[in-house]
Structure 1
Amino acid sequence: MSFAPYLLSSLTLAFLFYLFIPGLGAFLVRHRWRRFRAQVVRSISFPELHYGGFRETGSFRFKGRLEAVQGDDLVWLEEEGLSVGVSLRDVPIYLIPGSGTGSDSSRGFPDETPKVVYWREISALAQGTRFYVAGHVREEAGGIVFRGSEVHDPLVIIYDGPEHTFLKRTIWTGRQRNEYWNHLTLPALTGGFLAQLVVAVISVSESRLAALVATVLALVPILPLVPPGVAGYYLYRRLWRSARRRRAIRDVVRLRDVDLPGRTGRSVWMLELIAVLFLLAGIWANGYGIAVILALTVFRP
């Protein structure tokens, strides 16, 4: 087999494992957090549940403190004399961090992504833990209970920090820090590394150049982390963090029904594009250097 088929195999595998699979994960993650933010914003329009305010089944929102746990998945919240039950069976629970104090925080908001857990994963909660719940409410055995329907689960948030910044903090943090690094990224990078090594081993006896290319592509996952390409990785992280902050500011401003100019969204996309270009430049610089070293040593004719 000549050089071209091996090269095509290496490039195809690189695209599949380094771009397509992590990119698919990034799309799914961004969609999930966009849906979460939309759910939070939609919940604002629900009437607030208060003592004597429940008349019939419908959608409500409620803030309360943990009062008791009943059975396997029913918790009771209390606020101003009103006790409300929440069924947590198979319902995602979002843990919103308090105010940020680190160098990456802005306007006192944390530079963190909310953790998503399920009730069966929580071993214990202190009495008085604060909840925000929004969704379908109905009366059961004389009590008022939030319970999911076949279409929608209730929105359940456990939070800390000042009450007056709860909504802004929820919208601010409700996004992935870096969508490219998701649940599919590590398996994909590992698979790409192993697949390229297989191509290198198979092709080395027929085409040293093809084996060289496959070896360099196998090292792509670690290339951004070593000098001099690490400078590109550093700039990538800074610019991506800045783009994330701009998106968060845009979403918080929209809570006030203020429409930002269309160029704001374009500037964020441009910032992310520049960040990716810096990352690729770092990978290219390191990859070229390693290719030269390997060509003069391991793969020398």
Structure 2
Amino acid sequence: CWLGTCFLGVTFQECSSERFAESYSDWFEKILRNLQQGPSSLQLVTVVSCTSMSDLFARLAKFLNLKKEASSFAGRVVEPLLLLLNENGPVADEAIDLLRTVIKLYPSSVNRHYNKVESTIAAKIMSTEVNVKLSKKFARVLAMLPSVRVSEGTWSLMIQKVLIGINNLLNDAFVGLEEEKKGREIMMLLVPPGNDPPPVLGDQVKLGGNLHVTKKFGVFTVPTISALAHCCCMMLTSYYPVQVTVPGRALIALSRRVLLVDGSLRNKLFPSTTSLHQELICFELPSLHSSFLDLLHATIKGMRR
């Protein structure tokens, strides 16, 4: 099954247009059955099925007369993919690549699944079981999600939710290491007085699981902040079909907030800020500073002024 699916993937790329148009529907059904078996299927078969399905959609996109049917096929793949995204390792890696292909080529097919996709991706970014490389891959797909429902409001809501998520995580990370009001000031830029805050990114996910507080910082907090910052970078520097208003003041204030922290204690009123926590912060600061220098660069590039 694994070998046959590999050969199908090569066939999609190499066969003649006539042969492809004659057989693509049957081929799609065969690979979809592999994906629908979900986590119970052999990992190798699932992984190569995702890869071959991406090859199928890439070839289908060249047939403009088949666009409607291709979009229908893409819509049928989304639900099985969401189950596979809950896996770890190579399965999640290939599944997120396939979802990226679907969103890029057939964004309308994801429309009715929009909230589920956002929730699943956000949960993976905020998971302690995902490595940094895979977490950033999820963040890039989250940045693409507003292209499913193209409007200024969709884009603005997504970046607002991501920035609020980052700010809340920084509130926990920087206790005792900065002025207490920093987080509130940025929140007021993101949600002006009198406005209702947006829904939490991806609904309410359990942040960091049941990890011990010291392990949680290095394994969850910093990687999640970096991944969400990377999502913002992608949103700011990628093409979007309509003009949007960039929350420039909030982006710069958030970057400044991180870059000003040097690891020294600012307030003696926080006995909970232990020397161990301070050491952890100092160890992770170069990574955080790097992420937010990237965000500052993306802000300048995206706003062009």
TM-score bracket for this pair, using the shorter chain length: under 0.3
Which structure has the larger Rg over C-alpha atoms?
1
TM-score, normalised to structure 2, is 0.24
| Structure that is richer in strand per residue | 1
> 1 or 2 for the larger relative contact order (CA 8 Å, sep ≥6)?
1
